[in-house]
Structure 1
Amino acid sequence: MVSTDQLDHPDGRVELDDPTVVTQSRYGNEELAPTRISQRRWTTYNYAALWMGMAHNIPSYLLASGLVALGMNWLQAFLTITLGNLIVLVPLLLNSHAGTKYGIPFPVFARAFYGVRGANFPALLRAFVACGWFGIQTWIGGQAIHVIVGELAGSGWQNASAVGGHPWTLWLSFAFFWLLQMWLIWRGIEGLRRFENWAAPLVTVAFLALMIAILVKAGGPGPILSQPSALGWDADFWKIFAPSLMGMIAFWATLSLNMPDFTRFGAGQRQQVIGQIIGLPTTMSFIALVSIVTTSGTVIVYGSAIWDPVELTRRFENPVVVVVGLVMAILATMSCNVAANVVSPSYDFANALPRWLTFRTAGLLTGVIGVLIQPWRLLTDPDIYIFAWLGFYGGLLASVAGVLIAGYWLLDRTNLFLADLYLPHRRYWYWAGWNWRAVLATVIGSVLAVGGAYGGPFPADGLIPFLQPLYDYSWVVGLTAGLLVYLGLTLVLPHRTTRATHATASL
């Protein structure tokens, strides 16, 4: 199907015939407009490097070491993480396709199914989750800077007078790291691409060096790999396997929605698909194996599991090793944080106020909200926050992914009308700019997925007790319910413009 408003290129990519259609609309601006073909230059390496930069970070490291702390042995933890990332790769690649084909970011892609205005619902849901993660990782990076300066400046820096329960020097480190990230995002998406290209290999080398150092101290891999599982392979293991697997999937559930923010710059579908297949499963499996081996080795070397790489690095006596290790930790945190937690909400907030916010100003707003969330308070109980929160928001975002997959692949058969994504009273306007079918499907999918949330901050028998058994499978439930409900509602009660779209697409 060919639209008179857009140009279909032989390689399958599409662009607007007249880009001013978007920039003159109240629902578009320069950043939200479809990327021109001449600007789509990201290669296979760019996507692989992007995932290396996002995956090789302290929270990823803590995921694997946390499974060891729960009682899994190296093989159980490795298989759980690898399987989780292979599963989340499927919706991630499915939603990435639209970004490469049409050059549009996630919130504009969502307009096709939620409505030009209604897309703010999933976009802001995704954005506020990212703001929380941005604040957390910025606090972690600030802590690493505080430790580095303390190694060089001495106890006066580390034992400075307290303000708000923390040394004022820690607040200064936190502010410096915040400003450093804001500077990077102000350079724009091309600046981020260049940063990821050189930072990703350095971070990989640093994590390998940490693992090798522990292997030497532990006397080789033999004692580490021979450690038995505290859970075995019976009911005790399977009891925590399902919720752990959902947590591993949910860790990247955010990117499974907003990957079009990056694939819109792809030189072709082949480049982004191969780059992501190389990038996500392999790098996450790599960091998982490094984390598992290193954490297991600390049990032998130090007598207890040290699952925080910053704390582990401090144990080394050579100050040069400590400083270099922590600098790599800072690079890892910044590489992941800016790519995963600033790019997406920048587009999401700009989508809500396209006449007022650009990519850069929306990125600054993300940074401000990340501070207002007070991540130092959230991290006072990291087990509850990371694991309970992962399962909860993973279920919420999975229902959005279900709607997008149903709409793009099963109903519209990958055919979108670019200009209509930015204009009122056209194909994607639905009812006052909202498609109630997508909103209802998301709500139903979310309630089924997380209504039974239990443990940690939730009631022991679940928020909605009869839904408690579903919560252990929150991501699968959310994705399946969102997809099926939206598909059913659209087929039974189609909107007149979507009915025309489906009929035309089948020709």
Structure 2
Amino acid sequence: MSNKDISVTREQVDLIRERGYNEDLLPKTEDKRNMSAKNYFTLWMGSIHNIPNYTAVGGFLFLGLSPINIMIALIISGLAVSALMVLNGKAGSKYGIPFSMHLRSVYGDVGAKLPGFLRGGVAAIAWFGLQNYTASLALLILIGKLWPGFLVLGGDFNFFGISLPGLIAFTIFWAINLLIGLGGGAALNKFTAILNPLIYVVFIGMTIWAINVGGGIGNILNFTPTGNQVQNHSPILVYFMIINSVLAVWAGPGSSVSDFTQNAKSTKDQRIGQTASMLVGYAIFAFSSISILIGGSIHYGVQEWNVLNIVDKWDNLPAMLLAIIVLLMTTISTNATGNIVPAAYQLSALFPKKINYRKGVIIAAVISYIIMPWKLMENSDSIFAFLNMIGAVLGPVAGVMLAQYFFILKEEIDLNELYMDPIKDNKDNQYKGINKEAYIATIIALIVSMLGQFIPSLSIISSLSFIVGAGLSFIIYLGLKKLK
């Protein structure tokens, strides 16, 4: 093989195929890899500039740090995310295995089902529906600007809490996301190739506008928010809170990144591409988000932390429409890479003989529609508490995954044992059953990272839940393995 760091051969794959595994679960040989450093560079860029991320930055402004310090914290956060992506993605790039099989190498063939289902079957599907609904509100604004009469279609029509225009906007955006998901990695590569130049054009243009109307970069960097929401924490603590928040946003993709790195032409490609993507992406995002939110707030005389509300106030209709379209496209990119792709692969892993990737996409999309995310948004406290709990699970999972691959397996996975013959007993197979130490470490770390939500005096733990969960599970797992 030309790439020595790719440890999978066609002979191995042919043998595994004979055992009944579907094509989506098979390791990718070198000739099946199509993602270079350039592809990885563009892959995540579109996932950074989305509506929820801009809203999060608005919240960071109230934590007591100056705007310039928030920018620095965001850039450091991007580097932390890239480290998670690159390290946890190495098993995928070396062996060509998807997340579901990577998870099996950690938790065992039976043990992998629960964390896999929580990542792809619950969190990903729920977030897919919720992000579709959130973005459909932006689509509703866009259609309303072009066709004002659309907003009053159906009169008093109400479908379980959503108006006819809202339902149409949601269905349209849901369908677009479904089509992108069905296209898989190839469609994503083409989509992001179109999206990223637009991101540069739109968000750099928005940043220039914001600096101009905000009275210059000095005014923006010296801005101090006011109101009862302003908090005063230790600067070091706020840095860690921001880093933790950004890591938590990427906990899902960070755990299941092997679904993407299995297509890497080499480990070097995914390492350089993902690091550059996060570093450049978050550097641009840090400066643009702070500038746009603060500049817009200064200009309109209202502390406005929802980027959509700022754009909606623009007098220039073409510019406003272009900005909303790009925001919608970034949400599609985020939804595909972080939600629909891992959901489809996990459904395929749970039912390998009945569901392939495309069927998984369709099933996940249909479920995300049936759960009526607009209803879930009516009671935001309970649904987000649930989703935050699911997200908190992924910190401990990521910690155990890193400990297993680098320190227990020492970067060596036996593909013949990993893809065990379902007919044979395989009782001596190291990946058979449940890795009890992995489960113990994950559960203990999860409980500790959730303590702050129930014990006020430990609330700081909740603010650092991903870091605490990942770090604790990493240490506990290695300790348990040494004691074994």
Q: Is TM-score (shorter-chain normalized) higher than 0.5?
A: yes
How many residues are aligned here?
475
Q: 1:432-443, aligned counterparts within 5 Å?
A: 433-443=433-443
Structure 1 segment 27-42 matched on structure 2, within 5 A = 28-42=21-35
Paired position in structure 2 for 1:299: 297
Q: Tell me, in whole angstroms, the C-alpha distance in 1 between the residues paired with 2:48 and 2:442.
A: 28
Task: Quote how far apart the aligned CAs of 1:121 are.
Answer: 1.7
Shift of 1:347: 1.1
Q: Which residue of 1 aligns with 2:396?
A: 399
Matches within 5 A, 1:414-433: 414-423=411-420, 424=422, 425-426=425-426, 429=429, 433=433
Q: Deviations over 1:8-48 (max 9, x none)?
A: 7652201142423333335x210010012101121111001
Any unmatched runs of 5+ in structure 2?
Answer: none
Partner of 1:13: 6
- Distance (Å, rounded) in 1 between the aligned partners of 2:392 and 2:249: 11
What residue in structure 1 maps to residue 247 of structure 2? 249
Say whether 1:486 aligns with 2:477: yes
Spell out, residue by residue over 1:227-253, the C-alpha distance to the aligned partner (whole angstroms, 9 max, x if none).
Answer: 246699974656655444322221111
* 2:256 matches 1:258: yes
**Whole-Å separation in 2 of the counterparts to 1:158 and 1:292:** 35
In 2, are the aligned partners of 1:345 and 1:362 still within 8 Å (CA)? yes
In structure 2, what is the Cα distance between the partners aligned to 1:160 and 1:71? Answer: 46
Once the two structures are superposed, residues 34-69 of structure 1 have per-residue CA deviations (whole angstroms, 9 ceiling, x without a partner) of 012101121111001001122222222222222125
Q: Give deviations 1:340-396, integer Å, cap 9, x for gaps.
A: 21111111111111111111111122212323443324445768976x678644432
Return the offset for 1:159.
6.4
Counterparts in 2 of 1:430 and 1:102: CA distance versus 1, 3 Å? closer
SS in 1 for 2:180: helix
Answering whether residue 355 of structure 2 is matched by residue 357 of structure 1, we say yes
**Residue 305 of structure 1 aligns to a residue in which SS?**
coil
- Match for residue 213 of structure 1? 209
Q: 2-side partners of 1:159 and 1:302: how far apart?
A: 31
- 1:470 maps to 461
Separation (CA, whole Å) in 1 of partners of 2:13 and 2:232:
60
Q: Contact conserved, 1:22 with 1:422, CA < 8 A, in 2?
A: yes
- List aligned pairs for 1:492-507, cutoff 5 A: 492-493=483-484
Q: In 1, Cα distance between the equivalents of 2:417 and 2:468?
A: 32
The Cα of 1:87 is off from its aligned counterpart by 2.4
Identity of aligned residues (%): 27
Return closer, same or farther for 1:469/1:319 CA change in 2, 3 Å cut-off: closer
Residues of 1 paired with 2:369 and 2:166: CA distance?
14
Q: How does 1:57-206 map to 2 (within 5 A)?
A: 57-70=50-63, 72-127=65-120, 128-158=122-152, 160-161=154-155, 162-163=157-158, 164-206=160-202
Structure 2 Cα separation of the partners of residues 250 and 396 of structure 1: 10
TM (normalized to structure 2)? 0.90
Q: Distance in 2 between matches of 1:475 and 1:415?
A: 27
> CA separation of 1:70/1:347 partners in 2, compared to 1, >3 Å: closer, same or farther?
same
Say which SS state the counterpart of residue 104 (structure 2) adopts: helix
Deviation, 1:445, is 1.5
Counterparts of 1:281 and 1:343 in 2: how far apart (Å)? 24
- Is 1:60–1:288's contact at 8 Å kept on the other side of the alignment? no
Structure 1: distance between partners of 2:85 and 2:286: 20
Gaps of 5+ in 1: 1-7, 494-507
Tell me the alpha carbon deviations over residues 233-279 of structure 1, each in whole angstroms, 9 at most, x when there is no partner: 97465665544432222111112211111111111111110001100
Which residue of structure 2 lines up, in the alignment, with residue 289 of structure 1?
287
The answer on whether the counterparts of 2:62 and 2:231 sit within 8 Å (CA) in structure 1 is no
Q: Contact 2:93 / 2:263 at 8 angstroms: preserved in 1?
A: yes
Paired with 1:377 and 1:316, the residues of 2 have a C-alpha distance of 30
Task: Tell me the amino acid that sits aligned with residue 258 of structure 1.
Answer: S
- Aligned partner of 1:482: which letter? S
Matched residue type, 1:178: W
Q: 1:246, 1:473 within 8 Å by CA — same for their partners in 2?
A: yes
Report if the CA contact (8 A) 1:253-1:394 is conserved.
yes
Alpha-carbon distance between aligned partners in 1 of 2:79 and 2:272, rounded to the nearest angstrom: 14
Return 32-41 or 82-91, whichever deviates more: 82-91
Q: Report the alpha carbon displacement of residue 468 of structure 1 after superposing the two structures with TM.
A: 4.8
Indicate the larger mover: 69-78 or 252-261: 69-78
Amino acid at match of 2:277: G
Mapped partners of 1:304, 1:213: distance in 2? 17
Correspondence for 1:410 among 407, 418, 438? 407
